[in-house]
Amino acid sequence: MGAPQVKAETYTYADYLSWDDGERYELIHGVVYNMSPALTRRHQQVLGKLFQAVAGITDRGPCETYVAPFDVRFTADELTDTVVQPDISVYCDPTALDDRGAIGAPDLVIEILSPSTSHKDTTQKLALYEARGVREYWIVNADAPWVMVYRGDEGRYRKPDYYRVGESVRSDVLGGAEIELSGWL
């Protein structure tokens, strides 16, 4: 079918599966977002080092770590209107994983801000992840540099914790593990 065609109604995961134009997309409440252009070299460096650090922790326990592109759907229905590709997602429930990616909220999501996605990551995805029960949401600003961590508390995110270079990010999802920011941020 190629790229998404402009239409009045919202898109679904079934539509998403038909797009074969080589681009990467996300759907949030039926609205399509093109994830191009390619990520910057700095984004890739931070993503690679952060993925190694998180996967090094999850490899020792019951959780699994995935890097984009990895489809996260919040329901199994192909008519769902939301599918996202977080930079990094961690699942501690293996029954949430399938051959297409995952169904259900990740336990931990990490998004690294890019000029083209920062507004979406700090507004729409923040609201989506909170509403869908993502236990921890990290927003990484490699340029500033800082990491902001939202933690779920009875279905709502508490005020975020901020971490800077020289500090370690503590993760409840990762069993209280701490990841030193120096060396990758």
* Residue 115, pLDDT score: 86
Q: Give domain status of residue 10, yes or no.
A: no
Q: What parts of the chain have a pLDDT lower than 50?
A: none
Task: Give the up-direction half-sphere exposure of residue 92: CA atoms within 13 A in the CB hemisphere.
Answer: 15
* Residue 89, pLDDT score: 98
- pLDDT, tens only, 24-59: 899 999 999 988 677 788 899 999 999 999 999 999
* Residue 34, pLDDT score: 87
Rounded to whole angstroms, what are the CA distances from 18 to 15, 21, 33?
5, 9, 15
Q: Give domain status of residue 91, yes or no.
A: yes
* Residue 21, pLDDT score: 85
* Residue 126, pLDDT score: 97
Q: What is the DSSP string of the chain?
A: -BSPPP-SS---HHHHHHB-SS--EEEETTEEEE--SPPPHHHHHHHHHHHHHHHHHHTTSS-EEEESS-EEESSS-TT-S-EE--SEEEES-GGGEETTEEES--SEEEEE--TTTHHHHHTHHHHHHHHHT-SEEEEEETTTTEEEEEEEETTEEPSPEEEETTSEEEETTTTTEEEE-TTT-
Give how many domains the chain has, as a whole number: 1
CA-based R_g, the chain, Å: 16
Q: Identify which of 64, 70, 90 has the alpha carbon closest to the alpha carbon of residue 26.
A: 70
Q: Give domain status of residue 132, yes or no.
A: yes
- Domain of residue 90 covers 39-180
The CATH number assigned to the domain holding 146 equals 3.90.1570.10
Q: Give domain status of residue 164, yes or no.
A: yes
Q: Give domain status of residue 146, yes or no.
A: yes
Task: Report the 10 Å Cβ neighbour count for 60.
Answer: 11
Q: Give domain status of residue 28, yes or no.
A: no
Q: Give domain status of residue 18, yes or no.
A: no
Q: Give domain status of residue 5, yes or no.
A: no
